[in-house]
Amino acid sequence: MQEAIEAAFALPVSELREEHQSLFRKFKEGLNDGRYRAAQPDANSATGWSVNAWVKKGILLGFRLGQMVDMSIDLQRQPYFDKATYPVKQFSIESGVRLVPGGSSVRDGAFVGAGVICMPPMFINAGAYVDAGTMVDSHALVGSCAQVGKNCHLSAAAQIGGVLEPVGASPVIIEDEVMVGGNCGVYEGTVVKKRAVLGTGVILNRSTPVYDLVKERVLVATEEQPLVIPEEAVVVAGARQIARGIGKEWGVSLYTPVIVKYRDQKTEGKLQLEDLLR
């Protein structure tokens, strides 16, 4: 499959034929059932993950193969025009996904594990991987190729950014049992390790350092590696003063995430409510 996808991806649109449509349909089946992933665990990697660039090529190939079509159920009340290769994902009761009515959408080519809860309105894009038991709350977004682990909670309005291009770039990764608070944003290939907690309004990206008050260190992304939030870290939105120049004179502070502690019994007690919602 990898060789066939990479060969098709290298062709100009004018040379794509029905055989490539058939190839993409088989590839998308693998996306839907979780066999093909944009990134996968890799114990030999510094971040614990490696990127499957060929899978991203396959997802992009689908956009090149697709023609714009009218998929509206009711053209007047709810028009829906998109690439024919990426309709709405089909679920059945056997899927084990709790899809609450009210405007949620899951695009075809996304893996959604059994026991996932989708609260309206939320959106999961093509190429994303959302593992079993995770809750995707109202107005939350899981971007294309983002990887979300088991038993996570993406709270209301959380944004898990997608990284589809460049194909070699690592997508955003949320490992198992992570709590992402409301209005959080995780972008630019950030890796959030197991059982971490992101407090309300935390923004994580390649540009903003994270200050670990517990272990007295500063976590930053490099040219080679993304920002990595450690296991069980509890991160809140904070600020740091500008130390020089006119910013210091004016008393200006900049936003920065801060690790204030690592998970303990008090943290566990606050998160127990999550089990009652499942």
Q: Over 70: is that where the pLDDT of 5 sits?
A: yes
User: How many whole angstroms from its chain centre is CA 132?
Assistant: 14
Structure confidence by residue, pLDDT tens digits, 173-229: 999 999 999 999 999 999 999 999 999 999 999 999 999 999 999 999 999 999 999
Q: Over 90: is that where the pLDDT of 61 sits?
A: yes
Calpha distance 18→61 (Å, rounded): 13
Q: Are strands 123-124 and 105-106 parallel, antiparallel or unpaired?
A: parallel
Answer for the pair 221, 191: CB distance below 8 angstroms, yes or no. no
* Secondary structure letter of residue 78 according to DSSP: B
Q: What is the rounded average pLDDT for all residues in the chain?
A: 94
Burial of residue 73, with CB atoms counted within 10 A of its CB: 0-12 exposed, 13-18 middle, 19 or more buried: exposed
Phi-psi region of 14 (alpha: psi -120 to 50; beta: other; left: phi over 0): alpha
Answer for the pair 259, 202: CB distance below 8 angstroms, yes or no. no
pLDDT computed for residue 167 by the predictor:
84
Q: Over 80: is that where the pLDDT of 265 sits?
A: no
Beta-carbon neighbour count of residue 207 at 10 Å? Answer: 11
pLDDT computed for residue 271 by the predictor:
65
DSSP-assigned letters across all residues of 35-65: SS-SEEE-TTSSSSEEE-HHHHHHHHHHHHH
Q: Over 60: is that where the pLDDT of 26 sits?
A: yes
Q: pTM of the entire structure?
A: 0.93
Q: How many CA atoms lie within 13 A of 108 on its CB side?
A: 18
Answer for the pair 204, 210: CB distance below 8 angstroms, yes or no. yes
Calpha distance 232→245 (Å, rounded): 37
Answer for the pair 51, 44: CB distance below 8 angstroms, yes or no. no
Percent of the chain residues topping a pLDDT of 70: 96
Q: Average pLDDT for residues 249-257, to the nearest whole number? A: 95
Pick the CATH number of 89-276 from 1.25.40.80, 2.160.10.10, 3.10.310.30, 2.30.40.10: 2.160.10.10
Answer for the pair 228, 253: CB distance below 8 angstroms, yes or no. no
Domains of the chain, by residue range, sit at 89-276
Q: Average pLDDT for residues 112-119, to the nearest whole number? A: 97
Which helix (H) or strand (E) segment holds residue 265: the answer is: helix 265-271
Answer for the pair 160, 154: CB distance below 8 angstroms, yes or no. yes
**Using 50, 70 and 90 to split pLDDT, how confident is the model at 164?**
confident
Q: Average pLDDT for residues 6-34, to the nearest whole number? A: 97
User: How many whole angstroms from its chain centre is CA 81?
Assistant: 24
The radius of gyration of the chain from alpha carbons, rounded to an integer in Å, stands at 20
Q: Which residue from 34, 27, 172 is spatially nearest to 111, judged by alpha carbons?
A: 34
Q: Over 70: is that where the pLDDT of 133 sits?
A: yes
For residue 201, what are its two tokens? 């309004």
Cis peptide leading into residue 166 (ω within 30°): yes
Nearest-10 crossing angle of helices 18-32, 53-65 = 130
Calpha distance 246→183 (Å, rounded): 31
